[in-house]
Chain A
């Protein structure tokens, strides 16, 4: 026998008791949606998991109204200390139900259980713990004394870290005193709905957290809703751009966490084995469905062959398969659409003349899968060096000098993250200084922490999540005199790019 063909070690699904169908979570209760419900499936097997309600515009109205009521009647009047206690409760409940949440996440999203169990869910709890403590300390958030909450926050999150992105959005929003309407991604609603149950268990006042499910049109209705004061979005740059246009001309505050094409720079004096691990973790963590993934490997030309060799050897030990198996390293691609996109861009890479290498692994019959893939001989002009693939595909480029590495790393409209691998301290600091990216990992990669601000430069979005900075995204300075930063508009009607309707009234006299 081969020892390396580890016997199956599936995580038990028995911990999970799911309903057959889920409603919208509005005003503290589940209710049917008025849109056409849809099925959520496991991307690893294509099996149906549950039926999910679909929120139409009326449902969005209801959710925003519930959030508004909760904001005005309850949440904005509650002491920061008590808001904090609710968040601590939620953190504890997440810890108590951690295994169940991890199983649900891997089932619905396709990510390996070892990641949902060891990364996603622990970070979810950590995020609530971190921001819970902020709720009664907002004077120290960096906006001066008595900062005010914004009101109702509309939050739209992606499918790559469903529950974690929910935590990134809800925890700071609630700590700052906002109420929220959150829409999870269409393919990964499940853990958000389990979270709604946690909200009930925590006895959070109705309407403080509302979760509405649906597709892109539900999200568009939410961010465009005139009753929201704050929009927070994580997802693709294309959609983020559209949201920025929708929000233009309103008084809504906007934060966007968008795409990336991170450079992972490996110098010839790097701690080589850890660099190889970092490269693997950088691009193959969560099947590469990571906005800050190190999808461009910039390796010093003198060690290119050695690094690629070691990388291939290492990738050959990755285990692709059942996300619920505790030994799985690479899970399923989240959806057929995403798989198609990864395939398409990979084919483009071949057409462009890059050399494709695919890790030897057996692809299961059902479900959506893509084996870890490396492209060598990639040039900066190639599409696979410029476009976000959002899959387990690494493009390898070379450089000769630190200056060239920096120039190539920065040569992208994105600016979310970057990696540096070298033993030389002065070089790390100097290169980190010059990289136009919001998060720089030196001799490590893909580390996240609630205390650490995360977010992009340039087209990777604006605003930060995590840390004190993340709190600022949900607060405004106390309104006194001329400190009012933004013009007040009487009409918060969002504009749609194509429709040239009347300008929002430009009142804005000094307050």
Chain B
């Protein structure tokens, strides 16, 4: 006889916890075939606010961790994802109506991107920074530092790969992230959050919101405690308004991208959320 399945409740991921939306709202998530999959939490502006608070609280410690440590933490995510590979493939098949091969390819690529970015953690500063030969008796060095709290509108057309492709590079340099998942395919995002929660990623470093990007993104774009805005998945939103809102506190903004190559792995994506700090010091034998 067949066993009655136990469905999962999908909630938000804020500050390392899985709260329901404070608004109490949910929305129906349906598969590609129109079948009901689950109710996802529909995050409100207050959830976004809480996520920013959590991210701000976490960014100092994450940024101060050694680059070696950050690299290991990011690699650990890949390890855990690999272990739950089957779950993600199944989720993507259902959600996106993808074939097993396509879904597998998406999961594999997501895992490999974690690995790729993990390896950058303790190399990026060497590539992006350096010593500057100034004309004077000074030691002068430039290093990239994390911008701070990065709000991301994840690519909307994939469940996992777009999300990973935007979150991972932001984490490399030590930023904390508030990411708005794909509105139509939010379930893998929460499953990923479960992976993150059981990995070594400190609480609050990644915060995942599900719901309507159109509703949440403006609050993040205008939030004064958000330092940067990745609009890669906001192509269908009024993203110009988001960029204008972001200008009020001069946030760093990445504009929308579309298609399968959106947020392709690139050093640029790490650099986009870093600030170059240059330190001078006098030098003398006397």
Direct contact of A and B (CB under 8 A): yes
Asked whether, in the complex, the Cβ of A508 is within 8 Å of the Cβ of B235, the reply is yes
Q: Which of A245, A457, A458, A481 contacts B247 (CB 8 A)?
A: A245
Asked whether, in the complex, the Cβ of A485 is within 8 Å of the Cβ of B257, the reply is yes
Complex Cα distance A402/B135, Å? Answer: 31
Q: A469-B142, A477-B268, A482-B261 are in contact. Are A453 and B250 (CB under 8 A)?
A: no
Asked whether, in the complex, the Cβ of B142 is within 8 Å of the Cβ of A452, the reply is yes
* Chain A residues in 8 Å Cβ range of B250: 237, 240-241, 244, 256, 258, 458-459, 461-462
Asked whether, in the complex, the Cβ of A510 is within 8 Å of the Cβ of B261, the reply is yes
* Chain A residues in 8 Å Cβ range of B261: 481-484, 510
The interface size bin for chain A is 35 or more
Tell me if A372 counts as interface (CB < 8 A to partner B).
no
Complex Cα distance A508/B232, Å? Answer: 11
Complex Cα distance A469/B134, Å? Answer: 14
Tell me if A223 counts as interface (CB < 8 A to partner B).
no
Q: Which of A241, A458, A461 contacts B227 (CB 8 A)?
A: A458
CB distance from A461 to the nearest CB of B (A): 6
Asked whether, in the complex, the Cβ of A510 is within 8 Å of the Cβ of B256, the reply is no
Tell me if B279 counts as interface (CB < 8 A to partner A).
yes
Asked whether, in the complex, the Cβ of A447 is within 8 Å of the Cβ of B280, the reply is yes
* Chain A residues in 8 Å Cβ range of B253: 248
Asked whether, in the complex, the Cβ of B258 is within 8 Å of the Cβ of A248, the reply is no
Q: Which of A413, A415, A503, A509 contacts B240 (CB 8 A)?
A: A503
* Chain B residues in 8 Å Cβ range of A454: 278
Tell me if A19 counts as interface (CB < 8 A to partner B).
no
Asked whether, in the complex, the Cβ of B136 is within 8 Å of the Cβ of A449, the reply is yes
Interface-side segment among A79-87, A103-111, A438-446: A438-446
Number of A-B contacts (CB under 8 A): 147
* Chain A residues in 8 Å Cβ range of B278: 438-440, 452-454, 467
Tell me if B30 counts as interface (CB < 8 A to partner A).
no
CB distance from B74 to the nearest CB of A (A): 21
Asked whether, in the complex, the Cβ of B244 is within 8 Å of the Cβ of A509, the reply is no
Complex Cα distance A126/B256, Å? Answer: 39
Asked whether, in the complex, the Cβ of B276 is within 8 Å of the Cβ of A487, the reply is no
Tell me if A261 counts as interface (CB < 8 A to partner B).
no
Asked whether, in the complex, the Cβ of B244 is within 8 Å of the Cβ of A245, the reply is yes
Q: Which of A237, A458, A468 contacts B130 (CB 8 A)?
A: A468
Interface residues of A in 411-429 (CB under 8 A from B): 413, 415, 428
Tell me if A151 counts as interface (CB < 8 A to partner B).
no
Q: Which of A126, A241, A441, A461 contacts B280 (CB 8 A)?
A: A441
Q: Which of B132, B258, B282 contacts A453 (CB 8 A)?
A: B132
Asked whether, in the complex, the Cβ of A504 is within 8 Å of the Cβ of B138, the reply is no
Tell me if A20 counts as interface (CB < 8 A to partner B).
no
Tell me if B65 counts as interface (CB < 8 A to partner A).
no
Asked whether, in the complex, the Cβ of A510 is within 8 Å of the Cβ of B258, the reply is yes
Considering only CB atoms, which chain B residue lies closest to A489 in the complex?
A: B255
- Shortest Cβ-Cβ A-B pairs, 3 listed: A482-B261, A510-B259, A249-B240
Q: A451-B132, A482-B261, A503-B238 provided; 14 other pairs, C-beta below 8 A? A: A248-B244, A248-B246, A428-B281, A438-B277, A442-B279, A442-B281, A443-B281, A443-B282, A454-B278, A482-B264, A483-B268, A506-B239, A508-B256, A508-B257
